[in-house]
Amino acid sequence: MSSRDAVPEWINPLRDERDKRLPRIAGPCSVVIFGVTGDLARKKLLPAVYDLASRGLLPPGFGLVGFGRRDWSHEDFAAEALKSIRDHARTPFREHVWEQLCSGMRFVNSSFGDADGYQRLTETLAELDSSRGTAGNHAFYLSIPPSAFPVVLEQLCGSGLANGTGSQWRRVIIEKPFGHDLASAKELNKIVNNVFGEDSVFRIDHYLGKETVQNILALRFANQLFDPLLNAHYVDHVQITMAEDIGLGGRAGYYDGIGAARDVIQNHLIQLLAMIAMEEPVSFSSREVRTEKVKVLSATKLVQPLDETTARGQYSAGWQGAEPVVGLLEEAGFSPESTTETYAAITVDVQTRRWAGVPFFLRTGKRLGRRVTEVAVVFKRAPHLPFDATMTEDLGQNALVIRVQPDEGVTMRFGSKVPGSSMEVRDVNMDFNYGEAFTESSPEAYERLILDVLLGFPSWFPINEEVELSWEILDPVLERWAADGKPEAYESGGWGPESANEMLRRTGREWRRP
């Protein structure tokens, strides 16, 4: 572990070797949320902060500051926060937890570019330091459009807020999108790193905070059973799927012109690929985990030709469950000429000794048949089957499926003898389900990640190099699509455009129907 990954010393007295699940509790600090009136803050961030408080993982004097243009008093901010907590928190509402949290809540009314506002923020944080003991440790959460990053960073720098003195820490949390392509990501990283050292930058990819995603490393590196088989000798291909049934109503402002590849493949799916394909890190310290991720992403290349190995689509009208739904072009706020893709699929090859020649198929889409995210490792067929051919007609390929959500768990698919007098073999599933195996419920991704920021534990946050490598992988596809005109329409409620099926069929394979 590097020194910055070490568990803070003051936690140590709580450590009890007999109970490995003892919580990690954040030290004295506060969080400032920029963009606190936005959807993300309302639905995820404020509830996650409450859930951390409710689990006793925040210090008693924790400070929470909202920064925004609304003409709110501290009490107005608290009232809004209370509403979103009541609507969206994971843990039950408890008055004393709320009272404690609420007493440390402040609101600073300012536009992002107003130096006076940052002066008032400085005073507010100093007041929290003295009244709540937040000790000059402050995290700045930028839940704002990327266009506002430069001005906020500049002001944080100019006001002196970006730098603590002595042992105080200052950290910045950045929400995606991390740029629009490689060039803009580099530019953004430069702007951020001019103000905060990379050690103090926490880029959120909330998929890395999911229990089932972190479990990929446990599955691979805590067991002897799986990882020895994860290589080109045994694996035929890997399918990484993130399917959503929701549409884009209400999200035109963010999504039009962005599309599925930038929204999901560049970050969540490429991170899932890194987790399943990376080599074993020396430890789970941020340096070691990120070193392995950077290595595997550097080796990841698009399979050519892109016309045959990628696919994109745009949902048209159809059904979501029993409800008729409109197509993207009829959704409010989208241009009727929009060429934004709502489905994207790519094929990559990880050019390492372990994986070379094993295609990784990545796909994501809106308004598909069902919400499901999974990583499916599909194995080659056994080299020889000593059975009468008719006995194995229903035998498919073995598969190891990591079910990220919503039905969290792991499935192994393999052939088994059908009970009876003949030697017929058929596929069966062996399942592990979180709900059945554990009594503990999983924290929300944002809960875990916000706590990691406060603890100074950056392993599950992509560094600038990972972000740039992900764009490097994706950029040629985006350029090709930009030159190609309209994406293919696919019906809402189905499984995406025909070109995506064709993309796999060409290789002699098929998408899984989760």
Work out how close the CB of 416 gets to ligand BG6 at its nearest, in angstroms, rounded to a whole number: 33
Q: Which two tokens stand for residue 362?
A: 């990545």
Work out how close the CB of 337 gets to ligand BG6 at its nearest, in angstroms, rounded to a whole number: 22
Work out how close the CB of 285 gets to ligand BG6 at its nearest, in angstroms, rounded to a whole number: 26
Identity of the residue numbered 380: K
Q: Which is nearer to ligand BG6, 5 or 244 (CB)?
A: 244
Q: Give the residue among 374, 370, 336, 454 at the shortest CA–CA distance from 62.
A: 454
Q: What is the C-alpha separation between 258 and 278, in angstroms, rounded?
A: 28
Q: Which is nearer to ligand BG6, 444 or 468 (CB)?
A: 444
Q: Which two tokens stand for residue 33?
A: 């949320």
Which residue sits closest to ligand BG6, CB atoms considered? 263
Binding mask 204-243 for ligand BG6 (x = CB under 6 A): --x-------------------------------------
Name the catalytic one among 138, 206, 237, 268: 268
Q: Which is nearer to ligand BG6, 28 or 247 (CB)?
A: 247
Q: Which is nearer to ligand BG6, 263 or 424 (CB)?
A: 263
In sequence order, what are the beta bridge partners of 302?
Answer: 348
Q: Which two tokens stand for residue 321?
A: 């469950």
Q: What is the C-alpha separation between 183 and 491, in angstroms, rounded?
A: 34
Q: Which residues of 288-324 are buried (b: 16+ CB within 10 A; e: fewer)?
A: bbbbbbbbbbbbbebbeebeebbbbbbbbbbebeeee
> What count of Cα atoms within 13 Å lies in the side-chain half-sphere of residue 182?
14
**At what angle are helices 149-158 and 182-195 packed, to 10 degrees?**
20
Work out how close the CB of 244 gets to ligand BG6 at its nearest, in angstroms, rounded to a whole number: 6
Q: What is the C-alpha separation between 413 and 427, in angstroms, rounded?
A: 6
Identity of the residue numbered 152: V
Binding mask 129-158 for ligand BG6 (x = CB under 6 A): ------------------------------
Q: Report the number of secondary-structure helices (H) and strands (E) in the chain.
A: 17, 17
Q: Give the residue among 263, 137, 149 at the shortest CA–CA distance from 206.
A: 263
Secondary structure (3-state) at 395: coil
**At what angle are helices 149-158 and 115-132 packed, to 10 degrees?**
60
Q: What is the C-alpha separation between 247 and 243, in angstroms, rounded?
A: 11
Work out how close the CB of 255 gets to ligand BG6 at its nearest, in angstroms, rounded to a whole number: 7
Determine, following the binding rule CB under 6 A, whether residue 244 of this chain makes contact with ligand BG6: yes
Pairing of strands 409-417, 425-433: antiparallel
Q: Which is nearer to ligand BG6, 63 or 177 (CB)?
A: 177
Q: Which is nearer to ligand BG6, 310 or 373 (CB)?
A: 373
Q: Which is nearer to ligand BG6, 264 or 377 (CB)?
A: 264
Q: Which is nearer to ligand BG6, 195 or 248 (CB)?
A: 248
Work out how close the CB of 446 gets to ligand BG6 at its nearest, in angstroms, rounded to a whole number: 9
Determine, following the binding rule CB under 6 A, whether residue 5 of this chain makes contact with ligand BG6: no
Identity of the residue numbered 346: I
Q: Which is nearer to ligand BG6, 244 or 447 (CB)?
A: 244
Work out how close the CB of 269 gets to ligand BG6 at its nearest, in angstroms, rounded to a whole number: 11
Cβ atoms of residues 452 and 434 within 8 Å: no
Looking at 5, 263, 341, 408, which residue binds ligand BG6 (CB under 6 A)? 263
Q: Give the residue among 25, 91, 105 at the shortest CA–CA distance from 63.
A: 105
In sequence order, what are the beta bridge partners of 432?
Answer: 410
Q: Is 268 a catalytic site residue?
A: yes
> Which residues 366-385 are close enough to bind ligand BG6 by CB under 6 A?
373
Q: What is the C-alpha separation between 273 and 467, in angstroms, rounded?
A: 14
Handedness of CA 505, 509, 510, 511 (dihedral sign): negative
Q: Determine the size of the site formed for ligand BG6 (CB under 6 A).
A: 5
Work out how close the CB of 247 gets to ligand BG6 at its nearest, in angstroms, rounded to a whole number: 10
In sequence order, what are the beta bridge partners of 488?
Answer: 313
Residues at the site binding ligand BG6, with contacts judged by CB under 6 A: 206, 244, 263-264, 373
Active site residues: 268
